[in-house]
Chains A and B, each alone.
Chain A
Amino acid sequence: MPTPPSSPPAAPRPPVTGTAPSQAELRSRLHGLPGVDAVGLEQRAAGLATRSIKTTAKAYALDLAISMVDLTTLEGSDTAGKVRALCAKAARPDPGDPTTPHTAAVCVYPDLAATAKEALAAAGAPQVEVAAVATAFPSGRASLRVKIADAEDAVAAGADEVDMVIDRGAFLSGDYLKVHEEIRAVKEACAAGPGAGARLKVIFENAELATYDNIRRASWLAMEAGADFIKTSTGKVGGAATLPATLLMLEAVRGYHAATGTRVGVKPAGGIRAAKDALRYLVVVNETAGPEWLTPDWFRFGASGLLGDLLMQRHKLATGAYSGAAYVTVD
């Protein structure tokens, strides 16, 4: 397990109170953000992707990455049995090596959150959190009433974290207030969760927002509405997490922290399958938001297959020999 960097505790913030901004205020604020130059952003991401992470740094980063995985299954075919297997793997990713860290969370649909909670407790890893996707995931096409009920269900089933989707249609049509209000409402539903409430991750589905300017606006919109995490994608749409978009979101959380003192986490999800890619993301976190974000409290990977490659690379680094997929448990 990597030494946890010094960072404030992961306590979710209290629910947002006070009055909501007006549509005009939101609009002028979001449109007043500095633009994003796509070429420059992608060049910076490509530059950071050339960092060479070797030996001790690699060992540290692989363990850190494992500890940041939200091990995910979001299929119509999910069953209690499948989720139990996933939880067992999250609790002990490498049964042959007890020094392997557990993952940060398992991520499931709300109806399986209770199963996950039980399975993790049974596996002796109650510290692994249960994240449930909600608010008519993945499209977000439902009434606010249904979305809130969805989130409430998840929290009632014991979810420690709620991954909500924004209404991309409302966002793209300029109805920022609707998006803002939905996030606030779901945040309030999360308050019923354990302790200070479930942590809220807000998913943008970057591929549908289409431009970097939109991603930056969505980031600020979500953070102001009370998001604890901002997340790139559902994983259900092509063109999920990308390094440049994640870099941009890390700039946003850095800027928000500088402006308000509130730290928000970032979760790229979808399409990150290789350990090498995960290390690139960690480099981008390190050199953009800073080392304070290099903890499962503030950075996550939404992934399923990634864990297998992280474990194989970890094994390779420890033993010098590459074991192969047969030596890693399937979910």
Chain B
Amino acid sequence: MVFDYAPAPESRSLVQIAPSYGLFVDGEFREAADGRSFKTVSPADEQALSEVAHAGAEDVEAAVRAARAAFPGWAALPGAERAKFLFRIARILQERSRELAVLETLDNGKPIRETRDADLPQVAAHFFYYAGWADKLAHAGLERTAHGGPPRPLGVAAQVIPWNFPLLMLAWKVAPALATGNTVVLKPAETTPLSALFFADICRQAQLPAGVVNILTGDGETGAALVSHPGVDKVAFTGSTAVGKAIAREVAGGDKRLTLELGGKGANIVFEDAPLDQAVEGVVNGSFFNQGQVCCAGSRLLVQESVADELLEALRRRLGTLRLGDPLDKNTDIGAINSPEQLARITELADAGEAEGAARWSPACELPSQGYWFAPTVFTGVTQAHRIAREEIFGPVLSVLTFRTPEEAVAKANNTPYGLSAGIWTEKGSRILRVAEKLRAGVVWANTFNKFDPTSPFGGYRESGFGREGGRHGLEAYLDLTGAEPAEAGAVANEGRRGARAGGKAGGR
């Protein structure tokens, strides 16, 4: 290109990362009980960023105990008082957004353009939004069915979040939980623990009462210990379908409430009467945003045969303009893959696509020698029988299928065990409504993709999980709407959790 953009890196010095971090339990940072720790690295250059504590069973016990102890006081606060803390957290998040954007980019590998313009604004927006609900829960249309009283918090929420949007997934989980009066033990993903630890610092800065938010860093073992802990009332998980199923099995038979937000294999359907230039943008955004590491990614492009050649030509030209490289550079569009494990999975599936006979194409682009990188990739000639059309790749890989009629498009879009997202591109309003009605997906975007807003509920069904996050619906996952009025006198007899749930029974445990 003649007009070469000179490097425009965001300053690394905006964030000070300590050489090591402890667990955040009961308002304090502490070492893991058994002293274990692990390194977190920058996926763009494989350099270690920090050493973080690895929580074990003993730490889970301590964190749940702290959350349990904090619950009665937090739940008893008037909603307007809880809102003050949430508003304060939201404002601090905004004030520190540049620092947090750099941090997130370093730990995750995603471009600074995305952390700055998408992740961080959404993080603050979620806290602002749910802060507004905290004193209006009685008016959310969520009365308890048993006797029409106002909804009550559940208790201690165990939250396990993924690495693709570390701080945003934290916000999706923590903001509604706190607004509704629950306390939280959150485990960030093993490869992206840092922003959650910075959030812990923000909780202290906001003078949030100790124990209301606890952060445990660790691996899958830590997560398993947390969700299976008997002192937990609610489990919220976002991540892979395989782990989601394991959690569902774990909590089955108990009375823990569960919401799961799992994988997807979203279809982006482009009809012949679509606004084609914008559809190209939507396809790029749908499958290459965040290196495609998005559960609701539009990783299957279904394009009507009559415009397929035109659209694909435009798509290839557009992908040629994507800039892959240093995630801290403000002009980078495609950053690093989060981990070597993920890179291996993407590579394996892409190779399978080629082996199964689909045509593979990538724009000319040089991958850095250090770090975990995968070039944007498009497969054409894909059929429903290919693995790349069925399995979630969770990487910058797009599978292109064609269709002839709207019925065929719907049948192919629905031909997946997942049901999280879909996109429809057409200038014809009636077609949008008719097709959206038939698509089995939790979110259907029309003439746009990957559009998020805290007021809008998000979630899927079938193997994409259940429960909704965001919007008024997102409150429901953290509220007790069915329970009968607890017997005040008898609450203590039911030991521990029941006592606490009734509110203020400090002696109950």
Contacts and interface: CB of A to CB of B under 8 A. Distances in A.
Contact of B113 (A34, A44, A50, A60): A50
B3 A40 contact: no
Interface string B276-287: 111001100000
Interface string B1-12: 111111110000
A50 B3 contact: no
A217 to B, nearest CB: 14
A43 B277 contact: no
B278 A53 contact: no
B299 to A, nearest CB: 20
A29 to B, nearest CB: 16
Contacts of A248: 277
Interface residues of B, number: 24
Contact of A53 (B8, B277, B447): B8
Given A36-B277, A40-B447, A282 B3 contact: yes
Given A40-B282, A291-B1, A50 B6 contact: no
A328 interface: no
B447 A37 contact: yes
A54 interface: yes
A52 B3 contact: no
Interface string B340-373: 0000000000000000000000000000000000
Given A57-B5, A291-B3, A34 B276 contact: yes
Contact of B275 (A3, A34, A53): A34
B5 A51 contact: yes
Contacts of A30: none
A40 B355 CA distance: 36
A60 B3 contact: yes
B309 interface: no
Contacts of B278: 36-37, 40-41, 44
A39 interface: yes
Interface string A45-83: 000001111111110110010000000000000000000
B6 A40 contact: no
B460 to A, nearest CB: 24
A5 interface: yes
B427 interface: yes
Give the one of B7, B276, B278 with max A CB within 10 A. Answer: B278
A36 B282 CA distance: 13
A124 interface: no
Contacts of A54: 5-8
B281 A34 contact: no
Contact of B6 (A3, A34, A57): A57
Interface in B238-278: 273-278
Give the one of A44, A64, A251 with max B CB within 10 A. Answer: A44
A286 B330 CA distance: 17
A238 interface: no
B2 A35 contact: no
A287 B321 contact: yes
Interface size range of chain A in the complex: 20 to 34
Contacts of B40: none
B117 interface: yes
Contacts of B3: 57, 60-61, 64, 282-283, 286, 291, 294
Contact of B447 (A39, A52, A57): A39
A53 B331 CA distance: 9
Given A34-B277, A52-B330, A40 B448 contact: yes
A45 to B, nearest CB: 10
B126 to A, nearest CB: 21
Interface string A283-304: 1001100010010000000000
A283 B278 CA distance: 18
Contacts of A51: 5, 330-331
A55 B7 CA distance: 8
Give the one of B1, B5, B113 with max A CB within 10 A. Answer: B5
A60 B6 CA distance: 10
B306 to A, nearest CB: 12
Contacts of B282: 40
A52 B331 contact: yes
Contact of B330 (A43, A50, A56, A64): A50
A58 to B, nearest CB: 7
Give the one of B7, B277, B427, B447 with max A CB within 10 A. Answer: B277
A282 B1 CA distance: 13
A287 B277 CA distance: 13
Nearest to A6: B2
Given A35-B275, A36-B275, A52 B5 contact: yes
B6 to A, nearest CB: 4
Contacts of B5: 51-54, 57
Interface in B359-414: none
Contacts of B281: 40, 43-44
Nearest to A7: B2
A253 to B, nearest CB: 13
A248 B278 CA distance: 10
Contacts of B321: 287
A74 B274 CA distance: 41
Interface string A17-39: 00000000000000000111101
B242 to A, nearest CB: 35
A61 B273 CA distance: 37
Interface string B306-329: 000000000000000100000000
B1 A52 contact: no
Given A36-B277, A36-B278, A44-B281, A3 B2 contact: yes
Interface string B143-161: 0000000000000000000
Give the one of B3, B274, B278, B448 with max A CB within 10 A. Answer: B3
Nearest to A212: B275
A39 B277 CA distance: 12
Nearest to A216: B277
Contacts of B117: 50
A52 B8 contact: yes
B275 A294 contact: no
Q: Which 6 A-B pairs have the closest CB atoms?
A: A40-B278, A52-B8, A52-B330, A37-B275, A35-B427, A57-B6
Interface of B: 1-8, 113, 117, 273-278, 281-282, 321, 330-331, 427, 447-448
Given A39-B447, A294-B3, 5 more contacts: A37-B278, A40-B281, A286-B3, A291-B1, A291-B2
11 contacts: A34-B276, A35-B275, A37-B278, A37-B448, A40-B447, A43-B448, A44-B278, A51-B331, A52-B330, A287-B321, A291-B2
